[in-house]
Structure 1
Amino acid sequence: MTIIEKYISNTPKDRQEKLQQLYTVIKQLAPEATEKIAYGMPTFYLNGNLVHFANMKNHIGFYPAPAAIEAFKPELTGFKTSKGAIQFPIDKELPVELIQKIVLFRLEEQIRK
């Protein structure tokens, strides 16, 4: 069991499926990234922090860095965002295609470092 899988297994049962789905999407797109816990959150690391995600009280938090939020602003209108964070509501499906695009964007950014 990876450190991120351990994190997921310690979250409430009703959150685990979405967290596992998010983990799987990121892992498939960034298999070369190192997995760790940073700032108390599952983190994928490649030439620096690639993305973080976390189980929050009222949502699933996804943290792809400010440039990604800005780049995908038009596609994020249905979600609450801040400078470096996106909130995915618990009661809605994860936007997998959008997550994939954001992770690929971040991979490109980190590879250029």
Structure 2
Amino acid sequence: MTEVDKYILQFEPPIQSRLKSLRELFFELYPNCVESIRYKIPAYKVGMHYLYFAAYTKHIGFYPVYGLWELEEELSAYRAKGTKDSLHFPHNKPLPIELVRKIIKQKAQLT
């Protein structure tokens, strides 16, 4: 069992399912991406950058999301208040899988 498995298992099954969906998306897009725990949360190295997610009581945080100007209109619906680089995906709404897919792909292309 990996450290990321342990991280996911500490949450209730519905949240585990959401976290697993995000995790699977990274490996779907980048089968050889490096998965680790950094800052006590799951981290994925895509290209030169890391992306992270973390579960909270009311949402999943997704970080850092900056420098993706062409996605800003889509990102704005999820932008955490008072931040430039954090998204919040509320548990009471479906995960925006297609948006996350775009974020991962674009982050992997940034130098």
Q: TM-score, normalised by structure 2?
A: 0.85
Contact 2:47 2:109 in 1 (8 A): no
- After superposing on structure 2, the runs of 4+ consecutive aligned residues of structure 1 that deviate more than 6 Å are none
Deviation at 1:75, TM superposition (A): 0.7
Task: Among all aligned residue pairs of Structure 1 and Structure 2, give the percentage whose two residues are the same amino acid.
Answer: 31
1:30-89 deviation line (CA, Å, top 9, x unaligned): 222211111111001245542100001221001133213x44210123223321110001
- For residues 47 and 6 of structure 2, the distance between their equivalents in structure 1, rounded to whole angstroms, comes to 24
Report the residue type matching 1:92 in the other structure. Answer: K
Q: How far off is 1:13 after superposition?
A: 2.3
In the alignment, structure 1 segments of 5+ residues that lack a partner are: none
| In structure 1, distance between residues paired with 2:103 and 2:46 | 15
Structure 1 residues 47 and 103: CA distance shift in structure 2, 3 A: closer
Distance 1:105 1:9 in 2: 29
Following superposition of structure 1 onto structure 2, how do residues 22-37 of structure 1 map, counting pairs within 5 Å?
22-37=22-37
Q: Where do residues 1-113 of structure 1 align in structure 2 (5 Å cutoff)?
A: 1-46=1-46, 48-68=48-68, 70-81=69-80, 82-109=83-110, 112=111
Aligned length: 109
- Return the offset for 1:15: 0.7
DSSP-derived class of the 1:67 partner: coil
So what's the TM-score if we normalise by structure 1?
0.84
1:86-113 CA distance string (max 9 Å, x none): 000101110111110000001111xx4x
Contact 2:53–2:62 (Cα < 8 Å) also in 1: yes
Tell me the distance in 2 between the aligned counterparts of 1:24 and 1:53.
Answer: 13
Judge conservation of contact 2:49–2:107 (CA < 8 Å) in 1.
no
Alignment root-mean-square deviation, CA: 1.8
- The more displaced of 4-13 and 92-101 is 4-13
Distance 1:5 1:31, change over 3 A: same
Q: Give unpaired runs (5+ residues) of structure 2.
A: none
